[in-house]
Amino acid sequence: MIRVESVSKRNSSQLLFVEASATLLRGEKVGLVGPNGAGKSTLFRMITGRDQPDEGQVSVDRGTIIGYFSQDVGEMAGRSAVAEVMEGAGPVSAVAAEMAALEADMVDPGKGNQLEEIIARYGEVQARFEELDGYALDGRAREVLDGLGFSQEMMDGDVGKLSGGWKMRVALARILLMRPDVMLLDEPSNHLDLESLIWLEQFLKGYDGALMMTSHDREFMNRIVTKIIEIDGGSLTTYSGDYDFYVEQRAMSEKQQQAQFERQKAMLAKEIAFIERFKARASHAAQVQSRVKKLDKIEKVEPPRRRQTIAFEFQPAPRSGDDVISVKGVHKRYGSRVIYDGLDFHVRRKERWCVMGVNGAGKSTLLKLVAGDATPDSGTVQIGVGVKLGYFSQHAMDILDGDLTIFEMLEQSFPQAGQGSLRTLAGCFGFSGDDIEKRCRVLSGGEKARLVMAMMLFDPPNLLVLDEPTNHLDLATKEMLVNALAQFEGTMLFVSHDRHFLGALSNRVLELTPDGVHAYGGGYTEYVASTGQEAPGLRS
């Protein structure tokens, strides 16, 4: 359906693609991977015709309808979420618009002499609308919005009053309702809670068109894609299989390429040594000449390109007492909405609790109470003896001084630390080279989150309270964070919609439901096994 053939593309001074080729076949589900800035969004724009290659061509089969979801959703206001979603439903939305215009013409006194023509045209348009299943459109739009977590009130309310994250969901719903021949989805898993993420996963599994997507959620990618296209160093390389298979195959290919490189390097060194040793001897002239010609013809094996690997190691945190958090008889409400009605919860040293529940269940509120960012209406929240708390929330970025550079922010936070250790810290969280001279005000949401995380973990607490710590993090940084936190000796209380993160780090689960609070002795993996569901909101 889509062919990228010998494409080269330069973006400003950066060379993104060099004679790169790949294909997307009918019905394929492909994951597009590569480092930040490698050209994933540029490839999407070239496929949709919004950008053109410098050389080569991108061809799309005639008549193919493409739906493209990007993080730039544009302005939305003045309509309901349902109307906004229906507007993007492809051909049926255009037919619906013409029907509405014709209905207005029918009651327009100024067009009475055209009524017969209007009615005839209306009959044709209505037949086309029925053929496209238009009368079911409202119901289908609501079904998609419901799957993405919208209440009925939000569906019918002004879309302009929604937050940026919810507008992203509206934009995504437009593409899903459209059901085009090809979906190009750029980070569709951003801004989704676990229930919505799992619903989207099932929707895309049942989608019979072709799909190409990027995602920073490893588990989400694994469950949907059957092919990976990697962008790296200007090339497009295709791997058959899911994301985990790609990681294994890439590692195996790098190992084989390194071994070939080492073997050839040893052989070349041996040949060059022979030539140097005997080049002045007439008796060996023929042999020397023969070997020189042989070396000229050899195709050099390149060493594998080394991806920047980032690792972070915790400094030893001070030991806390055995009783870390004690929540007793806590009541909390916002207006008329009751969040907790006598909550009791106890955390002991080295426990790693993940908090689960549907939107509005009180997950973030619990973390705020523990961190001191909120107070209970009644009851007590006590932090134990010797507990040093580190709290990461989506508002934690407010501590950054926009006038300072990344490096100046780190220096101000840790005046006793050496420049070398601060540069290493910055590198672990994806800030290398000139990046550390960026001013905090120009950082993206993901960059701000990484910087705050770096500042929190450098002088390690013994209690980590983390609210969606992996939002906006790319796969490499996420993997680094999971590996680092796996070695953390302290206590953790966290909320996350990333199942890989949940499974790798939790050893306790606190589930907040309308029926009450349930605690599970094992981690997230055991929770799924015992409940049969991956999230509380999925239970029948």
Residue 79 above 60 pLDDT?
A: yes
Q: How far apart are alpha carbons 410 and 482 in whole angstroms?
A: 22
Bigger pLDDT: 289 or 377? Answer: 377
pLDDT (tens digit per residue) in 455-494: 988 888 999 999 998 887 888 888 888 988 998 889 999 9
Closest by CA position to 203, among listed 185, 227, 216, 218: 185
pLDDT (tens digit per residue) in 221-247: 999 999 999 998 889 999 999 999 999
pLDDT (tens digit per residue) in 396-428: 777 889 899 999 999 999 998 888 889 888 888
Q: What is the pLDDT, as a whole number, of residue 296?
A: 85
Counts of helices then strands in the chain (DSSP H, E)? 18, 18
Helix, strand, coil shares of the chain, percent, nearest 5, are 45, 25, 30
Q: How far apart are alpha carbons 2 and 161 in whole angstroms?
A: 38
Closest by CA position to 364, among listed 260, 459, 467: 467
CB neighbours of residue 468 within 10 Å: 20
pLDDT (tens digit per residue) in 23-78: 999 999 999 998 877 889 999 999 999 999 999 999 999 989 999 998 877 788 88
Reading the block at residue 101, the tokens are 């215009």
Which of 191-200, 335-344, 390-399, 458-467 has the weakest average pLDDT? Answer: 390-399
Given a contact cutoff of 8 angstroms between Cβ atoms, the answer to whether 168 and 71 are in contact is yes
Per-chain mean pLDDT for the chain: 89
Kindly state the average pLDDT of the residues 337-359: 93
Alpha helices in 192-284, H assignment, sequence order: 194-206, 218-224, 243-278
- For the chain, the C-alpha Rg in angstroms (whole number) is 29
Reading the block at residue 511, the tokens are 């589930």
Alpha helices in 36-108, H assignment, sequence order: 40-48, 81-87, 91-106
Given a contact cutoff of 8 angstroms between Cβ atoms, the answer to whether 199 and 162 are in contact is no
Residue 89 above 90 pLDDT?
A: no
pLDDT (tens digit per residue) in 97-108: 888 889 888 888
Given a contact cutoff of 8 angstroms between Cβ atoms, the answer to whether 193 and 495 are in contact is no
Q: What is the pLDDT, as a whole number, of residue 540?
A: 44
Q: How far apart are alpha carbons 238 and 34 in whole angstroms?
A: 12
pLDDT (tens digit per residue) in 282-302: 778 888 888 888 888 888 888
pTM for this predicted structure: 0.81
The H or E element spanning position 175 is: helix 164-178
Q: Residue 110 CA to chain centroid, in angstroms?
A: 54
Q: Which residues of 33-69 are buried (b: 16+ CB within 10 A; e: fewer)?
A: bbbeebbbbbbbbbbbeeeebeebebebeeeeebbbb
Given a contact cutoff of 8 angstroms between Cβ atoms, the answer to whether 87 and 174 are in contact is yes
Q: What is the pLDDT, as a whole number, of residue 453?
A: 86
Q: What percent of the chain has pLDDT over 70?
A: 98
Bigger pLDDT: 94 or 441? Answer: 441
Q: How far apart are alpha carbons 210 and 197 in whole angstroms?
A: 19
Q: What is the pLDDT, as a whole number, of residue 301?
A: 81
Reading the block at residue 32, the tokens are 């597009």
